[in-house]
């Protein structure tokens, strides 16, 4: 028996039996097909139809463009069953059945693949339909749509030719909308469209309904490998071997008069997450008119006033679907002469803000559990809350030029680019900031939208292509700015009397829908959204990993704490040395010729450091604070060699200032004496502490003095002194023993004991390999995975990321950037070994990570797996890490794949 390639909508049980689970059904029937079948099963009104499987598509593509054996026969059989249900016959001149042919892959790819409506119309069936409906205008409108869609989708005729004809008719009739054209107009337009097809495709438009059907199915199969579908899959990380299903659905018509309508809607607000249906509709129109943004749509609330009965039914169905799928739904519907039909449902794409609010609301409504709510939100979505917003003061002063629909939140600033290729070129090749501005966007524009900082369109509604794609990819977008007049020829736009050219700066606010001229400065916001706070508090109950932060200054520590940090995992003390009032003392200390000179300089630095640490301890009252001793090579604190050499040479030639020349020559000599061929592998980290012991002793004194002072005031301090770049246990033995002595001495002087630890970073492979020895001294380990990745790979990050590493990633030599996500099989193996060996020696060894990976959800997952105590990351990533750690503990990663 040949394979089953075709499933009627009421055969979902069979599909489920074959595919085992719902994921399998979606893979087999595509998301649209699976949900049409599911809606049929639960009794939601769906027009009769059937689905040709993704397997058939793959077999067709693999078989060089031939339908697999049995598929066409099964299609005809399914068609008979549909005819039976609809009470009409395909191709019957007296009572013709019309069908649509719609693509539908496992994951939704809005508008990326093809659809043909009204299949089954020809001159004879059109006459039959006119007799039945007594509405020639409607019939010829449907007919011209078929020729247009079939012509462009199946026969490759450029759409513009059809649009020109329509525009001509509208102009001559003096109307602005196609719906105002007459039956005669549409009849003539149909004939003209057929002529265009004949001329451009060098073939007649096929009048045989069966031929139309089979060619449309083939076109949909082929569209899986169309350029725009491939681009989209690459951007969205969808596998290329899934194939698309084809849905053949009985046509229902939203263009059968005033009691007919068509629309799209989300069961909750896709921008804010509020519990209210939002959507767009048009009366007397066919579905594509709404999505394409060609006619200006109306908000769905108006439908309640216009067709209250059908709208009431729609609301009930929407709630039912939401409850059934336990998720916010994005639906398409048509009302044909007062009767509601659902044409699609799927989980709705939404902004990060809406995702969080919907998850929290649904958990509180009892629709999902708190656990599910926590798993549902992707950690990276939390990043949205930390995205730039416009500085409120600057925004007040900014020149507002227009307002439109706020469809994807966030602030974006960039130069106007009027097409996708320009946007991509400017952004990628010239590193310019770009806002893509278009009348509307189409699937072919996605590459430009991805490259741009934001998107602005003059047409389209909340469910337009621009809005959907922008939300999916987190791009700020404002659409439907009616006042915006774009001239793509002259590359200029006019808006409310303001003229702007391509390349000029604009700023858009996707949160409010405002558009400003020029560059409006942006600021980082705070995590104060009550829904996010609630979700993260639920996450905290599930996670085992603690989340700490990397913070150098008290203000960063305070912010980190507000974001939920449970400790400071890394304070890079050297950052403080760069401040203007301190740098001269640091330089004096480095350049000192005698012990006394050095002591003198260090004495000046001590109070600064002590004050820095006091601030940190106060901000983190009750929580651990890891302070790392100086790490970078000394030359970083001195003027650059090249610049000095140039200045000295100039002074020598001009003989301008003798005193300056002498001082610069001294500095140059010092810099030259310290020059190293590979400073990052040179005198830095613990080596520096051993080389200039007074320096780290001063730092430890400052730490303990600050801790004791704070403790005396009642602050609960937990300093942890971290020694960087240890490779051999003996380094730690020498350095740590000397420093612990300083700590004890200070506590004695101050007459108070504080709770403290000494430990080390693990950022050299040798340290990981000998972690059992190192743990004899270290009370804690912190993985410095920035350096550990460099030293394990033997590559310098700065050189690699601006050069060959990108090539490696493009050529897939490396699966991902090891500086962004922990390289589990290499660096990760060292980490896992270090944890195991370290805890063998010291079972209560505290182990964390403070490299940048600490804020990467995938790496957080790994850190959970190998049993770290905490991850430490930048304050802005703390909320992301909290969620990722909870998902790791729940064993359900929600990572971007």
Residues 709-768, interacting with Mg ion (CB under 5 A): 763
* Closest C-alpha to 859, from 825, 820, 890: 820
Return the range that interacts with ligand PEP (CB under 6 A); candidates 101-109, 141-149, 533-541, 782-790: 782-790
Nearest approach, Cβ of residue 386 and ligand PEP (Å): 21
- Residue 850: contacted member of ligand PEP, Mg ion, none (CB under 5 to 8 Å, by partner type): ligand PEP
DSSP symbols for 80-110: HHHHHHHT-EET-SSSEE-EEEEEEESS--T
Return the range that interacts with ligand PEP (CB under 6 A); candidates 161-169, 178-186, 368-376, 784-792: 784-792
- Residue 475: contacted member of ligand PEP, Mg ion, none (CB under 5 to 8 Å, by partner type): none
* 152 secondary structure, DSSP code: I
Q: Which is nearer to Mg ion, 624 or 784 (CB)?
A: 784
Distance (Å) of CA 465 to CA 109, 111, 155, 357: 11, 7, 24, 23
Burial class (CB in 10 A: 0-12, 13-18, 19+), 829: middle
Nearest approach, Cβ of residue 592 and Mg ion (Å): 26
State the SS3 of 473-485: CCCCEEECCCCEE
Q: Which residues pair with 761 in a beta bridge?
A: 782
Instruction: Decide if residue 785 touches ligand PEP (CB under 6 A).
Output: yes
Structure tokens, 553 = 């200054």
Nearest approach, Cβ of residue 786 and Mg ion (Å): 5
Structure tokens, 423 = 């946007």
Please give the Cα distance from 280 to 273 (Å, whole number): 17
Residues 6+ apart with CB under 8 A from 692: 598
Q: Which is nearer to ligand PEP, 26 or 572 (CB)?
A: 572
Nearest approach, Cβ of residue 560 and Mg ion (Å): 19
Instruction: Decide if residue 30 touches ligand PEP (CB under 6 A).
Output: no
Q: Which is nearer to ligand PEP, 784 or 828 (CB)?
A: 784
Q: Which is nearer to Mg ion, 552 or 787 (CB)?
A: 787
Size of interface with ligand PEP, in residues (CB under 6 A): 10
- Residue 572: contacted member of Mg ion, ligand PEP, none (CB under 5 to 8 Å, by partner type): ligand PEP
The number of C-alpha atoms within 13 Å of 154 and in the hemisphere containing its C-beta is: 25
- Residue 445: contacted member of Mg ion, ligand PEP, none (CB under 5 to 8 Å, by partner type): none
Nearest approach, Cβ of residue 564 and Mg ion (Å): 25
Structure tokens, 551 = 């913070």
Chain centre distance of CA 411: 15
Q: Which is nearer to ligand PEP, 200 or 786 (CB)?
A: 786
Residue whose tokens read 């416009």: 390
Name the active-site residue from 101, 571, 708, 850.
Answer: 850
571 labelled catalytic: no
850 labelled catalytic: yes
Instruction: Decide if residue 787 touches Mg ion (CB under 5 A).
Output: yes
- Residue 38: contacted member of ligand PEP, Mg ion, none (CB under 5 to 8 Å, by partner type): none
CB of 261 closer than 8 Å to CB of 284: yes
Nearest approach, Cβ of residue 604 and ligand PEP (Å): 25
Residue whose tokens read 């054996």: 69
* Closest C-alpha to 432, from 502, 382, 366: 502
CB of 225 closer than 8 Å to CB of 111: no
Site for Mg ion (CB under 5 A): which residue of 293, 784, 828, 879?
784
Residues 716-775, interacting with ligand PEP (CB under 6 A): 763
Site for ligand PEP (CB under 6 A): which residue of 787, 823, 846, 856?
787
Q: Which is nearer to ligand PEP, 113 or 863 (CB)?
A: 863
Nearest approach, Cβ of residue 787 and ligand PEP (Å): 3
Q: Which residues of 491-506 are buried (b: 16+ CB within 10 A; e: fewer)?
A: ebbebeeeebebeebb
Please give the Cα distance from 228 to 840 (Å, whole number): 55
Site for ligand PEP (CB under 6 A): which residue of 11, 55, 141, 631?
631
Q: Which is nearer to ligand PEP, 175 or 681 (CB)?
A: 681
Size of interface with Mg ion, in residues (CB under 5 A): 3
- For the chain, the 3-state helix, strand and coil shares in percent, each to the nearest 5, are 50, 15, 30
Name the active-site residue from 57, 101, 447, 465.
Answer: 465
Nearest approach, Cβ of residue 299 and ligand PEP (Å): 51
Distance (Å) of CA 327 to CA 170, 268, 362, 371: 42, 10, 8, 15
DSSP symbols for 687-707: HHHHHSHHHHHHHHHHHHHHH
Indicate which residues carry an active-site annotation: 465, 850
Residues that bind Mg ion (CB under 5 A): 763, 784, 787
Residues that bind ligand PEP (CB under 6 A): 570, 572, 631, 763, 784-787, 850-851
């Amino acid at each position: 028996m040949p394979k089953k390639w075709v499933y009627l909508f009421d055969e979902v049980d069979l599909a489920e039996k074959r595919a085992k689970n719902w994921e399998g059904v979606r893979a087999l029937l595509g998301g649209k097909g699976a949900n049409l079948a599911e809606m049929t099963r639960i009794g939601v009104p769906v027009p009769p139809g059937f689905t040709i499987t993704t397997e058939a598509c793959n077999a067709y593509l693999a078989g060089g463009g031939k339908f697999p054996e049995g598929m066409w026969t099964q299609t005809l059989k399914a068609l008979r069953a549909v005819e039976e249900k609809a009470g009409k016959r395909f191709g019957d001149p007296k009572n013709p059945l019309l069908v649509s042919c719609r693509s539908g892959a496992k994951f939704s790819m809005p508008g990326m693949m093809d659809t043909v409506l009204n299949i089954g119309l020809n001159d004879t069936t059109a006459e039959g339909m006119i007799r039945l409906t007594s509405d020639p205008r409607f019939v010829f409108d449907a007919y011209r749509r078929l020729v247009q869609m079939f012509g462009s989708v199946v026969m490759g005729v450029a759409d513009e030719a059809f649009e020109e004809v329509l525009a001509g008719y509208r102009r001559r009739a003096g109307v602005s909308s196609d719906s105002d054209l007459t039956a005669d107009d549409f009849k003539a337009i149909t004939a003209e469209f057929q002529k265009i097809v004949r001329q451009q495709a060098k073939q007649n438009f096929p009048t045989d309904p069966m031929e139309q059907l089979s060619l449309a199915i083939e076109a949909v199969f082929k569209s899986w490998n169309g350029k725009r579908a491939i681009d989209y899959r690459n951007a969205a990380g969808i596998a290329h071997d899934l194939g698309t299903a084809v849905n053949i659905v009985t046509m229902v018509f939203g263009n059968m008069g005033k009691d007919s309508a068509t629309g799209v809607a989300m069961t909750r607000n896709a921008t804010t997450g509020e519990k209210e249906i939002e959507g767009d509709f048009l009366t007397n129109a066919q579905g594509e008119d709404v999505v394409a943004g060609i006619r200006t749509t109306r908000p769905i609330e108006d439908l309640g006033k216009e067709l209250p009965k059908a709208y009431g039914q729609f609301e009930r169905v929407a709630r039912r679907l939401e409850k059934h799928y336990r998720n916010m739904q994005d639906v398409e519907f048509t009302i044909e002469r007062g009767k509601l039909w659902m044409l699609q449902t799927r989980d709705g794409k939404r902004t990060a803000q809406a995702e969080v609010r919907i998850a929290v609301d649904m958990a509180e409504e009892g629709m999902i559990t708190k656990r599910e709510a926590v798993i549902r939100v992707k950690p990276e979505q939390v990043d949205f809350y930390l995205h730039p917003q416009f500085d409120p003061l600057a925004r007040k002063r900014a020149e507002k030029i227009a307002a439109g629909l706020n469809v994807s939140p966030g602030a974006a600033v960039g130069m106007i680019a009027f097409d996708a290729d320009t946007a991509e070129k400017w952004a990628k090749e010239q590193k310019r900031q770009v806002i893509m501005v278009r009348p509307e966007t189409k699937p072919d524009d996605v590459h430009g939208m991805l490259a741009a900082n934001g998107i602005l369109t003059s047409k389209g509604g909340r469910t337009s292509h621009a809005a959907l794609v922008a939300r999916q990819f987190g791009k700020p977008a404002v659409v439907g700015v009616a006042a915006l007049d774009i001239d793509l020829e002259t590359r200029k736009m006019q808006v409310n009397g303001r003229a702007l050219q391509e390349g000029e700066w604009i700023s858009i606010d996707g949160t409010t829908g405002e558009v400003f001229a020029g560059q409006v400065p942006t600021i980082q916001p705070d995590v104060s959204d009550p829904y996010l706070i609630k979700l993260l508090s639920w996450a905290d109950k599930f996670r085992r990993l603690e989340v700490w932060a990397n913070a150098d200054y008290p203000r960063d520590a305070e912010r980190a704490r507000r974001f939920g940090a449970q400790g400071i995992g890394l304070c890079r003390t050297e950052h403080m040395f760069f401040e203007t009032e301190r740098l001269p003392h640091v330089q004096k200390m480095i350049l000192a010729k005698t012990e006394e000179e050095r002591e003198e300089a260090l004495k000046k630095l001590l109070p600064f450091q002590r004050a820095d640490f006091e601030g940190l301890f106060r901000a983190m009252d009750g929580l651990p604070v890891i302070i790392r001793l100086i790490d970078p090579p000394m030359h970083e604190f001195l003027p650059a060699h090249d610049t000095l050499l140039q200045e000295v040479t100039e002074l020598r030639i001009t003989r301008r200032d003798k005193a300056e020349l002498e001082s610069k020559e001294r500095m140059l000599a010092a810099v030259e004496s310290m020059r190293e061929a590979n400073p990052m592998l040179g005198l830095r980290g613990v080596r520096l502490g051993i080389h200039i012991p007074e320096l780290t002793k001063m730092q430890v004194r400052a730490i303990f003095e600050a801790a004791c002072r704070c403790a005396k005031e009642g602050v609960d301090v937990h300093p942890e002194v971290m020694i960087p770049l240890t490779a051999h246990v003996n380094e730690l033995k020498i350095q740590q023993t000397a420093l612990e002595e300083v700590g004890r001495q200070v506590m004695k002087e101050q007459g108070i004991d504080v709770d403290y630890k000494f430990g080390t970073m693990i950022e050299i492979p040798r340290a990981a390999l000998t972690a059992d020895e190192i743990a004899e001294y270290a009370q804690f380990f912190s993985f410095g995975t920035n350096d550990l990745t460099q030293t394990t790979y033997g590559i310098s990050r700065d050189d690699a990321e601006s050069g060959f590493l990108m090539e490696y990633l493009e050529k897939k030599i490396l699966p991902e950037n090891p500086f962004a996500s922990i390289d589990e099989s290499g660096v990760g193996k060292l980490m896992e070994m270090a944890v195991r060996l370290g805890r063998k020696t010291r079972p209560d060894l505290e182990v964390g990570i403070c490299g940048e990976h600490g804020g990467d959800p995938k790496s957080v997952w790994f850190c959970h797996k190998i049993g770290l105590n905490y991850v430490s990351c930048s304050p802005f990533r703390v909320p992301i890490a909290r969620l990722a750690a909870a998902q790791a503990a729940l064993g359900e990663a929600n990572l971007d794949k």
